[in-house]
Amino acid sequence: MRRPLRLVALLAVSTLAVASLASAQTLPRLVGKTGPAFTISLKTASGARVTQVKAGTYTLVVTDRTGTDAHNFHLTGAGVDLKTTVGFVGTKTWRVRFQRGKTYRFVCDPHELAMHGSFRAV
Ligand SMILES: [Cu+2]
C-alpha cells in the first residue's frame, strides 16, 4: 500500500513543476510603438488597443522608430518606470508586472501633450 501512494505524490509534484515552467515561458505579450510620426500606442498581441489589462506579469515589446522627430516610449505607474531614450531606434523587450487597481501611463517625453495613453490593471 505504501508504494502506490508515493508514486502518486511524485507524479503530483512533477506535474506542478511542469505547469509552472510552462506559465513562465508564455507570458502574455503587449506591443508598444512610438513614432515615426507623432503617434504612440500600446496594443495586445492581436492588435487591439489596450485600455485595461488583467493584473499580472507581461512581456512588453516596444518598437521606437524615432527618426528625426525624436520620440521615446516611457511607461510609468505603480512599480513601473521603463523608457527608451529619445535617441534610441529599435526594439526593447521588458518584463513588466501590473498591479490590480492601478493606472499606468505611457508617453513620449518630449511630446507628452500630444503623445500619451493610459490603461488600468484590473
Ligand atoms: Cu514624441
Compute, in angstroms, the gap from residue 107 CA to the centroid of ligand 1. Answer: 8
Which residues in the chain belong to E strands, given as ranges?
A: 29-34, 40-44, 52-53, 56-64, 74-77, 80-83, 90-98, 103-107, 116-121
Residue keyed to cell 526593447: 92
Which residues are within 5 Å of ligand 1 (an ion), measured at CB? 71, 108, 111, 115
pLDDT of residue 18: 52
What structural domains and CATH numbers belong to the chain? 27-121 (2.60.40.420)
Q: CA angle, corner 102, sides to 98 and 108, nearest 5?
A: 75
pLDDT of residue 21: 52
Query: Does pTM surpass 0.85?
Result: no
**pLDDT tens-digit readout, 38-92:** 999 999 999 999 999 999 999 999 999 876 788 999 999 999 999 999 989 999 9
Residue keyed to cell 513601473: 80
Rounded mean pLDDT, 5-31: 62
